[in-house]
Amino acid sequence: MLQPRDIRHLDWKRLLPGMLVTLIVALSVHVVMLQILDIPYPNPSGQPAAVTLAKGVLSVVALAVFFRLARQSLPGPLPLQAVIVFLLDAGLRESLRGAAMEGFVTTAYAYSFGHALGRLAPLLIRDFLLVLAAGSIKRWSLLAPVLLALSATVSFWLQPAIGAAVGQLLAGLGLQEHEDVYLMPYGWQVLIPAYATFAEPVISCMIMAALVWPRFAGRSRAVWLVSFAGLAALIRGSLALMALDSFFVPQPLWLAFLSTGQFCFETLALAGLSAVVWRWAGDSRRSAG
């Protein structure tokens, strides 16, 4: 696992400014495409079940790869490691940030955070079972069908069931979705909290980079950068969103790719810069030398 000396050898004068640059640049990719280039927000519909399943499978396989790469750096027994992986996955997906920004734009904070529980609960169950399986089943040939079954169960049963239950609970409490108070293009009233709350995925992504870095320390910079950025985009689902959902957006294909791709480009910038910053500031062996 990560040792205390790894923290002591961190160059905080590089790490903290690097994280700030990562935050600004990564979110600005999305902001510029949405507000300045006028790339529409994606609204895919009518995807067949095979596409939904493919997106889920890509995400769980990528997360299983991450866990196996990071396991030697994770503290505690397998259940604790599963909780840590879930927290990192939820942070990378901007779970709390998404609820906070939805509440800020609509002023329906209680509904927004309650609705977020409908997404977090199946994610927790999925990630917990995934880590238990990936930590117990050594051979990928045996693990692969388990991940396929897990993804199908979550996508087609668990997530809809929990989402419906949470929806009924919110309705019973009299909590309803509100119309947006702030409309596009957003001003500083939205952009300031948007950038401030983007600290959630930046922190999660940097921790993920720290956990898997020991497995890449002897590799080239290009291998480290491409591997980590691609892995993060697959875990978050943004790469699959661009590659698969673009065909189901009611827009010309080139515009659909840009529409769905803005989140992929954001994630690649986030993870790519996190990889660069951690290698620059967090390689304890280099810093100790």
Give the model confidence (pLDDT) of 106-150 as tens digits.
989 999 999 999 999 999 999 999 999 999 999 999 999 999 999
The Cα 250–Cα 248 span in angstroms is: 6
* Residues of the chain predicted below pLDDT 70: 1-8, 283-289
DSSP state of 218: T
The Cα 205–Cα 227 span in angstroms is: 13
pLDDT value, residue 283:
63
pLDDT value, residue 249:
85
Is residue 33 a contact partner of residue 39, using CB atoms and an 8 Å limit?
A: yes
> What token pair was written down for 223?
């291998």
Is residue 26 a contact partner of residue 266, using CB atoms and an 8 Å limit?
A: yes
pLDDT value, residue 177:
83
> What token pair was written down for 96?
């709390």
Is residue 286 a contact partner of residue 14, using CB atoms and an 8 Å limit?
A: no
pLDDT value, residue 287:
39
Main-chain dihedrals φ then ψ at residue 202, nearest 5 degrees: -65, -45
How would DSSP label each residue in 205-217?
Answer: HHHHHHHHGGGTT
pLDDT value, residue 8:
61
Each domain of the chain, given as residue ranges in start order, spans 4-288
219 Cβ neighbours under 8 A, 6+ residues apart: 227
